[in-house]
Amino acid sequence: MSSTSRRLLRYGRQMTKHRSIAPVMSCSSFLLPYNGCNGSLWNTPQVRMKSMLSLGQPTFKSHPEFFSHPEEIMPGIYKEELRSRRASLCHIVSQLVVKRGSEVNHLIVIPASPKKYMSENIPFPYRQNSNFLYLSGSYDPEAFIVLCVTGKEQLHTLFLSDPDPMSDLWDGPKTSPTAAVEHYGFDQAFLASEFETFMNSFAQKTNRKVKVWCEDRSIVERYLDPSFGFEFKNAESPKAVIDSLRLIKSPGEIELMRRSARIAGEAFQQTMQLCANLHAKGETINEHQIWAKLDYECRIHGAERLAYPPVVASGERANIIHYVFNNNKCHPEDMVLVDAGCEYFGYCSDITRTWPVCGKFQNDLHKSLYEMMLKTQTDLIKKVEPGISLDQLFGIMSEYLVKGLEDLGIVKEGSSKSGNCQEIALRFCPHHVSHYLGMDVHDTASVGRGEPLGAGMVVTVEPGIYLRASSNQKDFLTRVGKEFNGIAIRIEDDVHVTEDGHCVLTHCCPKSVQDIENWGTVTQS
Ligand SMILES: [Mn+2]
């Protein structure tokens, strides 16, 4: 990890700690309204009528069941918090460059996700770019945020795609600049076609001494004539700076993650029960049904979608770590490994459970290995607190896992004292035991796993065991160990790091043998 990255994380922590009082400089009108940039296209009666319609996402007015205050953009996330996130980003980039020895003006451009198509005219379900959503709260496709920093002044602008009768007919009306300023709390908002005029004004104001921060400049280039020649070619990505902010969740974000975790956890309860009921009726259970049930339960309880293609792998298929076909029959004597989570107002949950398809642990090998993994996972969660790193958690897991396998007689005696637990563990659990979680499942990926945890972070704890008697496992397995061949188990919870330890967000998801068997009890005749 470079010293710049360390400094970033320190800035991120400072900014998020004082989020509610983050220094937001008053926005003087260094970019005065100018001709053409007044949203005049929106001033026709038809467009005015359309702009009164929904913003295309739930608001206090349209969905009072989700919100308690008109200033909330997502439940518990107020307009002011979004503004403060943008202000922190501006503040950090200007600090970084000052430290590098020269003071310049900054232009930060964050585009929304474009619409993507799976085939001719058929769109994929739309998912907003997490960084754009984090800084704006908006689900508008093809919009972009432009943050200008000149000296100590900041100006937050949102650009929205132009109204177009044809696309409005197919996709519905778009958010107007006026509605965007009012709802999202930007200083100003314009149509994308007005971007070049805006840039001319900014270039003049700054004598073109500008450092550009932009991850994907294609959207900007669409609206800016190439002859404009602004410094987009040498733009630096703001990703690491935004990650340093997103790493530490605010109380409002933690509440959304708690809700996301609860919806997913309860979906697992219902899914376990469905399996038991289908089994009792003598019906064959297909992995596809488990997927469908989880998806249904999450959506019906308010989640936007599953957070990723789930893994529903029964029997030996659980050894395929990213198995996503989910189309095979579950044998009633097997266990099924399910890795699924949902997205709630942009915040993800990520859970894995492994349970007996029929609802009860009837196979001693399954049960003994499950109990060992459960102990490994719950003991590991106890280690989560400020100061420890994800890599250190992996080291501890390695020791627990090898000791557990040795106690069960699966690996040769003395393995846990051989001094190479990590190397042995990697042969049985080839993935890491944790990642950061937030608006993305693998959140804030630019932050290394060697960083000490701090209050406000959310991480997963997910030890797994995959017994394949593969060539790299054979050297360590005993004769007993070979009987376990084909079994795979992973248990994963989402854990919020608090000032004095941790809090498990996914606690409602059945995990103990007793809870799993309770939810695996038949409820219908
Ligand atoms: Mn995970």
Residues found in the chain: 525
Dihedral of the alpha carbons of 249, 251, 253, 256, in degrees to the nearest 10: 140
Distance from the CA of 100 to the center of ligand 1, in angstroms?
A: 37
Q: How confident is the model at residue 28, as a pLDDT?
A: 38
Distance from the CA of 432 to the center of ligand 1, in angstroms?
A: 9
Check: CB of residue 291 under 8 Å from CB of residue 305: no
Angle CA(340)–CA(345)–CA(350) in degrees, nearest 5?
A: 20
Burial of 93 (0-12, 13-18, 19+ CB in 10 A): buried
What ranges make up the beta strands (E) of 99-196? 105-111, 117-119, 122-123, 144-150, 153-160, 188-191
**Locate tokens 């769109």: which residue?**
123
Q: How confident is the model at residue 209, as a pLDDT?
A: 86
Distance from the CA of 494 to the center of ligand 1, in angstroms?
A: 8
Q: At what angle do helices 79-99 and 177-184 cross, to 10 degrees?
A: 90
Looking at domain 3-246, its CATH class is alpha beta
Residues in Cβ contact with 482 at an 8 Å cutoff, skipping those fewer than 6 apart? 469
Distance from the CA of 460 to the center of ligand 1, in angstroms?
A: 6
pLDDT in tens, 77-98: 999 999 999 999 999 998 887 7
Distance from the CA of 395 to the center of ligand 1, in angstroms?
A: 18
pLDDT in tens, 467-489: 987 778 988 999 888 899 999 99
Q: d(Cα 259, Cα 346) in Å, to the nearest integer?
A: 11
* DSSP helix/strand/coil, 73: strand
Distance from the CA of 462 to the center of ligand 1, in angstroms?
A: 7
Q: How confident is the model at residue 8, as a pLDDT?
A: 80
Distance from the CA of 247 to the center of ligand 1, in angstroms?
A: 16
Q: How confident is the model at residue 48, as a pLDDT?
A: 40
CATH number of 251-519: 3.90.230.10
Distances (CA, A) of 91 to 104, 108, 203: 13, 11, 20
Distance from the CA of 322 to the center of ligand 1, in angstroms?
A: 11
pLDDT in tens, 190-218: 999 999 999 999 988 888 888 999 988 88
Q: What are phi and psi of 352, to 5 degrees?
A: -130, 135
What ranges make up the beta strands (E) of 112-236? 117-119, 122-123, 144-150, 153-160, 188-191, 210-214
pLDDT per residue rounded down to tens, the chain (525 residues)? 566 677 788 877 877 775 543 434 333 333 433 334 444 444 444 444 444 445 778 888 888 889 999 999 999 999 999 999 999 999 999 888 776 766 689 999 999 998 899 999 899 999 999 999 999 999 998 899 999 999 889 999 999 989 888 887 888 777 889 888 999 999 999 999 999 999 999 988 888 888 999 988 888 888 888 787 777 778 899 999 999 999 999 999 999 999 999 999 999 999 999 999 999 999 999 999 999 999 999 999 999 999 999 999 999 999 999 999 999 999 999 999 999 999 999 999 999 999 999 999 999 999 999 999 999 999 999 999 999 999 999 999 999 999 999 999 999 999 999 999 999 999 999 999 999 999 999 999 999 999 999 999 999 999 999 998 777 898 899 988 889 999 999 999 999 999 999 999 999 999 999 999 999 998 855
Distance from the CA of 369 to the center of ligand 1, in angstroms?
A: 21
Check: CB of residue 384 under 8 Å from CB of residue 497: yes
pLDDT in tens, 6-21: 778 887 787 777 554 3
Distance from the CA of 93 to the center of ligand 1, in angstroms?
A: 31
Q: How confident is the model at residue 38, as a pLDDT?
A: 44
**Locate tokens 């994963």: which residue?**
492
Topology alike, domains 3-246 and 251-519: no
Distance from the CA of 351 to the center of ligand 1, in angstroms?
A: 7
Distance from the CA of 350 to the center of ligand 1, in angstroms?
A: 5
Q: How confident is the model at residue 19, as a pLDDT?
A: 58
Q: How confident is the model at residue 340, as a pLDDT?
A: 98
Q: How confident is the model at residue 18, as a pLDDT?
A: 57
Distance from the CA of 310 to the center of ligand 1, in angstroms?
A: 11
Dihedral of the alpha carbons of 495, 492, 338, 302, in degrees to the nearest 10: 0
In this structure, what token pair is assigned to residue 49? 């009528």
Q: d(Cα 287, Cα 98) in Å, to the nearest integer?
A: 55
Strands 122-123 and 210-214: unpaired
* DSSP 8-state class, residue 324: -
Question: Where in the chain are the domains?
Answer: 3-246, 251-519
Residues in Cβ contact with 424 at an 8 Å cutoff, skipping those fewer than 6 apart? 398, 402, 411, 415, 418, 476
Distance from the CA of 286 to the center of ligand 1, in angstroms?
A: 23
Angle CA(16)–CA(21)–CA(22) in degrees, nearest 5?
A: 55
pLDDT in tens, 118-168: 999 899 999 999 999 999 999 998 899 999 999 889 999 999 989 888 887
Check: CB of residue 257 under 8 Å from CB of residue 506: no
Distance from the CA of 321 to the center of ligand 1, in angstroms?
A: 11
